[in-house]
Amino acid sequence: MLGQTKLIFLTLIGGGTIILDQITKLLIQKAFRLNESVIVIQDFFSLTYIRNPGAAFGLFADQSAGFRSIFFLVISILALSILFFFFVQTSKEDTSSVIALSLLFGGAIGNLIDRIRLGEVVDFLDFYFGRFHWPAFNVADSAITIGISLLMFNLFWLKKEVPTANLRGCE
């Protein structure tokens, strides 16, 4: 059963991520021509309107549009189902995991909306340093990255006390 607190987090964080993602993508599409770029910070950051037909870093971009549509729809539904399962199982007291899963949920839905609407994902945040160029990404991708990072931090670095059994009768 979902607690009211968890639903508030999912609505505010996940829903907020979706709204911010879609608004920024629409603004970029209205203000830029495809492949147009505007330097924001010289030799570091540009706004560049591109469309990614593939997965992260352009994976599957060379596959047919029909294959990509079916593949990404199935993968998205599977991923969202798994995320929702973990979200329901997470204790409301585990706030950082609830936040992380809400970010992942919102990011996944944000990119899924693009795939359904356009058949590809709008990316526009373009970071680079010298010859090193990070692939362009968007708000949904950022939420997914932050969510995964937060879950990994919880898993590997936060030490949680493990309750021990009462051993009184075993002395």
- Does residue 168 form part of some domain? no
Supply the pLDDT for residue 57.
58
Which of these is catalytic: 21, 114, 126, 141? 141
pLDDT digits (tens, 9 = 90+) for 55-92: 765 677 777 878 888 888 899 999 999 999 999 999 98
Q: Is residue 112 part of a domain?
A: yes
Average pLDDT over residues 13-42: 98
| Amino acid identity, position 83 | L
Binned at pLDDT 50, 70 and 90, residue 126 comes out as very high
Q: Is residue 169 part of a domain?
A: no
The predicted pLDDT at position 160 comes to 59
Q: How far apart are CA 20 and CA 106, in angstroms?
A: 10
**Between 98 and 3, residue with greater pLDDT:** 98
Among 110, 99, 72, which residue's Cα sits nearest to residue 8?
99
Show the domain range for 36.
4-157
pLDDT of residue 164 exceeding 60: no
SS (H, E, C) the chain: CCCHHHHHHHHHHHHHHHHHHHHHHHHHHHHCCCCCEEEEECCCEEEEEEEECCCHHHCCCCCCHHHHHHHHHHHHHHHHHHHHHHHHHCCCCCHHHHHHHHHHHHHHHHHHHHHHHHCCEEEEEEEEECCEECCCECHHHHHHHHHHHHHHHHHHCCCCCCCCCCCHHHC
Q: How much is the pTM? A: 0.86
Confirm whether 162 is domain-assigned. Answer: no
Catalytic residue from among 21, 114, 123, 126: 123
Q: Cα 52 from chain centroid? A: 15
pLDDT digits (tens, 9 = 90+) for 153-162: 988 877 555 4
User: For the residues 132-155, what does the mean pLDDT come to?
Assistant: 94
- Per-residue pLDDT, averaged over 125-130, amounts to 94
Q: How far is CA 115 from CA 55, 72, 75, 96, in A?
A: 10, 8, 12, 29
pLDDT at 70: 87
d(CA 106, CA 116): 15
Domain assignment present for 84: yes
CA distance 165 to 14: 38
Q: Is 94 a catalytic residue?
A: no
21 classed as catalytic: no
Query: In the chain, how many domains are there?
Result: 1
Percent of the chain with pLDDT over 90: 71
Residue 97 lies in a domain: yes
Q: Is residue 32 part of a domain?
A: yes
Query: Over the chain, what is the mean pLDDT?
Result: 88
Residue 72 forms part of a structural domain: yes
Convert the pLDDT of each residue in 6-18 to its tens digit. 999 999 999 999 9
Contact 144, 127 (CB under 8 A): no
